[in-house]
Amino acid sequence: MSDSGGAVSRLDKPQAPADPPLRKNVNFQLLWAGSVPAFLGREIVGLVYPLVVLAITGSPGWAGAFGGVQIFASLVCGMPAGALADRYDQRRLLLLVETARSLATSSVAAAYFLHELTLIHLLLVAVVLGAVQPVGGSTRMLLVRSLVPGRQLTAALTQEEVRSEAAAMAGPPLGGFLYAVASGLPFLVAAGGFAVAAGCTFFVRPPARTAGAEAAGGARRPQQDELPLLRRMLVGLHVLWRRPLLRSGMLFGAAMNTVGAPIILVVVVQLRDQGVGSGTLGLATIGMGVGGLAGALLVKPLHRMLAPGVLLLSVGAVEAVLIALLALGRGPWWVAGLLFLMGLNGPSVRVLVDILIFRQVPDEQRGRAVAACMTVFGAGSSLGVLVGGQLLQHLSPATAVLVLAACEAVAVGIGLGARSLRKAVWPEDMHV
């Protein structure tokens, strides 16, 4: 009798409703759809900005300085961005970011068509774009997590990677084509993309925080808010630094960014020196986007086959070889093929960083941890772009890529000495 009663009670127990398929998650899909033209616009002008700076100044050093200024602004604003993302409405922050990008990019288009575009103007725009980048990155990552159930997060992040890599594939050739038509046209198209993203973000409606989440966040929020501003901003970095695995993964990722950030600039200068036109140059750089799009299909297989640290170190070793092969300078299609192979690894590494680092941080500190990690990555990118520009100013592109390849090889060697990275395993609750 007791068994029967137990069976009845089990049958009567309410079952938790199953999560709807990710494709039916209207808020996530709206956010994602709005981000498509924004990411495409970013890739379009990412190719065109160095070309415009080179046209105005004739100096690869200034072209590198433009990227360095943008990334340095991201670095300076990175820590405050995390505190903002943890404290304020993430949808409104992202809306402000997309609006600022649209206005700044529109100003470049207007200045070009009015024949008033100057290097100072471009550098000021680089500051604005760099300053809002960490705010947008942190808030987008947290907003996605609020819209998507945990069991579907890896699928959502993979969909985000597909968007990013498709934009990276289509953006450069489209940018080269638009630049050939009129130098200001790529900026006009990109500004429109940012405006569309702002409009879609406006209509996203994140769910209200649950009582449990409020309690968990509220238990620590007062103590954190009593800390001095600088210490509040450094909470995320402290959380990452005190754990050997997170520290090693963050530093190795920053080293990879240092080497990888100037690669497109090197390719642009190398192909320009070979007399390659802007349209063909854009088609050559499409290789990395095509590789990234194909690489999205490799996320699950690579994560099943390799432990996270082994995967990260293997990617670094392979990229050192591929970067060195750029020195052969055998034309745009050789470059496109190497960029394709480099791009294959990108999605797996970015999802790896999310799983290995960001998921291990408490919810109420995650915004600052994400911003801290992105700031360290940005520091690597800033250093890489500045150094890359100076290498191109004083060395041939072939010699510059050999120096970058050697730096990557050194980083892999140091990473092999980090036991926490070599022995890292995937979290037990990960479902890829």
What sign for the dihedral angle of Cα 171, 141, 137, 372?
A: negative
- Higher pLDDT: 171 or 8? It is 171
- Residues 28-44 have a mean pLDDT of 91
User: Tell me, what's the pLDDT at 304?
Assistant: 84
Q: Is the pLDDT of residue 226 over 50?
A: no
Strand segments (E) across 265-390: none
Q: Is the pLDDT of residue 364 over 90?
A: no
Label residue 125 left, alpha or beta by phi (over 0 means left) and psi (-120 to 50 means alpha).
alpha
Residue 49: name the closest of 130, 169, 114, 134 by CA: 130
- Residues 410-425 have a mean pLDDT of 89
| Cβ(117)–Cβ(56) below 8 Å | yes
Strand segments (E) across 196-336: none
User: Tell me, what's the pLDDT at 396?
Assistant: 92
Quote the radius of gyration of the chain (alpha carbons, Å). Answer: 23
Q: Where are the domains of the chain?
A: 24-205+228-422
Residue range 99-147, pLDDT digits in tens: 999 999 999 999 988 888 899 999 999 999 988 988 888 888 888 888 8
Q: Is the pLDDT of residue 227 over 90?
A: no
| Cβ(397)–Cβ(270) below 8 Å | yes
User: Tell me, what's the pLDDT at 354?
Assistant: 74
Q: Is the pLDDT of residue 432 over 50?
A: no
- Residues 291-315 have a mean pLDDT of 86
Task: Measure the CA–CA gap between 253 and 257, rounded to whole angstroms.
Answer: 6
Length of the chain: 432
**Mean residue pLDDT across the chain:** 81
User: Tell me, what's the pLDDT at 216?
Assistant: 37
Assigned token pair, 415: 């990473």
pLDDT confidence tier of residue 400, bands split at 50, 70 and 90: very high
Task: Measure the CA–CA gap between 156 and 93, rounded to whole angstroms.
Answer: 21
User: Tell me, what's the pLDDT at 233?
Assistant: 57
Assigned token pair, 229: 């501003």
Task: Measure the CA–CA gap between 42 and 101, rounded to whole angstroms.
Answer: 9
User: Tell me, what's the pLDDT at 261?
Assistant: 86
What is the CATH topology of the domain spanning 24-205+228-422?
Growth Hormone; Chain: A; (1.20.1250)
